[in-house]
């Protein structure tokens, strides 16, 4: 029998060269992928439906405090949060499917292994006298470079206080200073790697 196609356009390949555990994982990934695609396809209507429910309804999760962009538009609406969550879920599933079935890579042409990134807060409020930046960077950046070499990750300090006073940030085309990415957030370390 020919493999059946899923809504994601992926054949239901339960290949004979996969172990039983891998076949089970592939089936689970395809199910998760179908669900993420279904939600993304109906996202605007579903977000409006859930937003119209009473606040104490069990299907409505509490919303975080609103966050606005420079133009006054809300950035963290339910639709935006769901879009981010289910797009990430979709990419995670596609990456894992590509690892399980190398023969699928031509079908998944646009899917590549992404860099992962994690923000770790620096507890400067709890320990105001401790020099966290000096500890992470080390003398002439040696500690940071050693950690990057050992882990294969990029380590960067971001947030308020990560740039020396008086240092110029990025300049826009008209010559005015622009805040660096994450400069308006509390001090944190960003670790990026495979």
Give the separation between CA 180 and CA 65, rounded to whole angstroms. 24
Please say whether the beta carbons of 144 and 133 come within 8 A. Answer: no
Q: What is the pLDDT of residue 149?
A: 92
pLDDT per residue over 6-41, tens digit each?
444 444 444 557 788 888 888 899 999 999 999 899
Long-range contacts, stretch 113-120, CB < 8 angstroms, 24+ apart? 113/194, 115/192, 115/193, 115/194, 116/192, 116/193, 116/194, 117/190, 117/191, 117/192, 118/190, 118/191, 119/158, 119/188, 119/189, 119/190, 120/188, 120/189, 120/190, 120/191
Q: What is the pLDDT of residue 56?
A: 85
Q: Is 102 exposed, middle or buried (0-12, 13-18, 19+ CB in 10 A)?
A: exposed
pLDDT > 90 in the chain, percent:
16
Top mean pLDDT of 161-165, 170-174, 185-189 is at 185-189
pLDDT per residue over 102-157, tens digit each?
776 656 656 666 777 889 999 988 998 988 888 899 999 999 999 999 988 999 98
Compute the average pLDDT of residues 82-109: 80
């Amino acid at each position: 029998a020919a493999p059946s196609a899923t809504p994601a356009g992926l054949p239901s390949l339960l290949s004979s060269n996969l172990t039983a555990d891998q076949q089970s994982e592939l089936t689970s990934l395809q199910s998760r992928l179908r669900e993420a695609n279904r939600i993304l396809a109906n996202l605007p209507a579903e977000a409006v439906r859930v937003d119209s429910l009473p606040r104490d309804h069990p299907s409505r999760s509490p919303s975080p405090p609103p966050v606005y962009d420079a133009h006054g538009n809300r950035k963290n609406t339910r639709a935006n949060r769901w879009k981010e969550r289910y797009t990430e879920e979709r990419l995670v599933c596609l990456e894992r499917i590509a690892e399980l079935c190398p023969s699928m890579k031509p079908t998944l042409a646009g899917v590549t292994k992404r860099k992962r990134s994690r923000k770790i807060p620096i507890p400067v409020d709890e320990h105001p006298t401790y020099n966290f930046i000096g500890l992470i960077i080390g003398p002439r950046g040696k500690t940071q470079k050693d950690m990057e070499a050992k882990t294969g990750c990029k380590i960067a300090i971001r947030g308020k206080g990560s740039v020396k006073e008086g240092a110029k940030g990025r300049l826009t085309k008209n010559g005015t200073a622009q805040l660096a990415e994450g400069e308006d957030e509390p001090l944190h370390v960003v670790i990026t790697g495979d």
